[in-house]
Structures are given as structure tokens and as C-alpha cells.
Homo-oligomer: A and B are copies of this chain.
């Protein structure tokens, strides 16, 4: 299947990216390495907090959603990467065993004014848990190659 260029990604498109299960040992290992706050790595301390137990590092949740975004959308496009995010929100905690579903929506497109071969696409990625509660949200701008034949 040919990869999708800038022109092939219309505003308004919504992609269901599937889901992942928040694996307890992976959450703990990720947090030990990258975000060793007690709420993420210490079950005893976490049990005494408002959360009642360990929760995922927000960076683990975002990275896990990124995986689904790559597999279900970016891998099929001619993307040149991203400048970053305009907003990243952790709305609700992710607990071990949660099932997190992700979708991406195409919001806006802008052709580059300085480079003929590319355009910028703003999208929002939203993840919800098995109870329909939003857990993470971000808005990003990615760079995509334009179709050389158009």
C-alpha cells in the first residue's frame, strides 16, 4: 500500500487506533527508570494517597498511546516528524489492568510557505479507559511530505 501524503489526509478524519492494556510490571519498570515518584513506584505509599494504589506515569501513558499512533496512523504516512505538542493533558489516572483506547482526529492543515514539498497537519490524540473516562489528550503538529505527482 502506498504511503499517504499530505494531500491524502483530510481534515475531519478520525482514526480508531485500538487499545492497550496497562501492564502492572511494565508500569512499574517504566516509572523506576523515568519517573520514580512514590505514586508510580511504591505500592504502600500509593495505597495511602487519594489514588488508593500505584498509577501509571503520565509519560508511560503518552508513550503507550504514541505506539498505537505510529502503528495505526503514522506508519502509513509520509511523515517527517513533529515540532511538538501544543497541549498535553493527563485527565484521569491509569491503573494497572486498565484498558486504554486511543483515537486521533485530523483538525487542521497548512501548506508550508517556505518549502514546496511539505505541509503541516494538526491533530488531536485522545485516550479513554474502559469506563469511557478520558485519561490523556494532546494536540500536535506533524510535518508531512506532499505528493510529488500532484
Interface residues of A (CB under 8 A from B): 30, 33-37, 39, 57-59, 62-64, 66-67, 70-71, 74-75, 79, 81-90, 137
How many copies of this chain does the complex contain? Answer: 2
Given contacts A37-B81, A59-B62, 16 further A-B contacts (CB under 8 A): A33-B63, A34-B64, A35-B63, A35-B70, A36-B71, A37-B74, A57-B66, A58-B82, A58-B84, A63-B63, A82-B90, A84-B89, A84-B90, A85-B85, A85-B87, A88-B88
Could you list 11 examples of A-B contacts with CB < 8 Å?
A30-B63, A33-B63, A36-B71, A37-B75, A37-B81, A59-B59, A59-B62, A59-B66, A84-B89, A86-B87, A88-B88
Q: How far is the CA of A26 from the CA of B60 in the complex (A)?
A: 15
Smallest CB-CB A-B distances: 6 pairs: A84-B89, A34-B63, A85-B88, A59-B63, A84-B88, A34-B67
Note all chain B residues with C-beta closer than 8 A to A137: 84
Say whether B33 contacts A70, CB under 8 Å: no
Nearest neighbor of A137 in chain B, beta-carbon distance: B84
The distance from the CB of A4 to the nearest CB of chain B, in whole angstroms, is 15
